[in-house]
Amino acid sequence: MMDEREWLSVLEADLRKKADRKDSLPTLSLLVSSDDPEIRNSAVWCVAKSAQNKVGGRAILDILVPLGSDNDQEIRENVAWGIGEISGTGISDLRAVIVIIKLLSDKEKMVRGMAAWAAGRMIHRLGEDDPVMIAKLKDLENDPSEYVRNAAGFALKG
């Protein structure tokens, strides 16, 4: 029997090949709560990659949204990435908007930038026009990070 790391490694390889692994979401929903940071990060990446592969639908949000306040920068960044990807398929909800708004104010520039990109996906693919999100994006056009400024510009202009 494979251990969690081996299973995640096989899953990552499958997802990189764009395999439909929606069967993995129930297990991933458990692994994102692991005490092992490496397993947690890998599991969250797999959830976000599933969203990019357009697999999993609303279950993606159910897994990612609670992780929007995680202490790990990489997890928060992958949460934003996954929400942005699933938004590109036409799936979102108020919980996802709230998480992205929160991540737009994250202390880490990589998280803010990914959240700005995800907000752009919500705006352009879903017609999301939350005034708080738009105001935060406008503020980010003056962010010290060029990456964040560019992502905010994309989000606001397309």
Cα separation, 155 vs 111, in Å, equals 15
1-5, 6-10, 36-40: which range is least confident on average?
1-5
What tens digit of pLDDT does each residue of 75-112 get? 999 999 999 999 999 999 999 999 999 999 999 999 99
Q: Considering the domain 4-157 in this protein, what is its CATH number?
A: 1.25.10.10
**Helix segments in the chain, DSSP class H:** 4-16, 25-31, 37-52, 58-64, 73-87, 94-103, 109-126, 131-140, 146-157
pLDDT at 144 (0 to 100): 98
pLDDT tier at 2 (50, 70, 90 boundaries)? confident
Q: What is the dihedral sign for C-alpha 21, 127, 64, 138?
A: positive
Q: Assign residue 130 a region: left if phi > 0, alpha if psi is -120 to 50, beta otherwise? A: beta
Q: Answer for the pair 89, 126: CB distance below 8 angstroms, yes or no.
A: no
Could you tell me the two tokens for 53? 């592969």
At residue 1, does pLDDT exceed 60?
Answer: no
Cβ atoms within 10 Å of 2's Cβ, excluding its own:
9
Global pTM value: 0.95
144 contact partners, CB below 8 Å, separation of at least 6? 109
Supply the pLDDT for residue 113. Answer: 98
Q: What is the pLDDT of residues 12-42, one digit of tens each?
A: 999 999 998 999 999 999 999 999 999 999 9
Q: What is the pLDDT of residue 56?
A: 86
Q: Delimit the domains of the chain by residue range.
A: 4-157
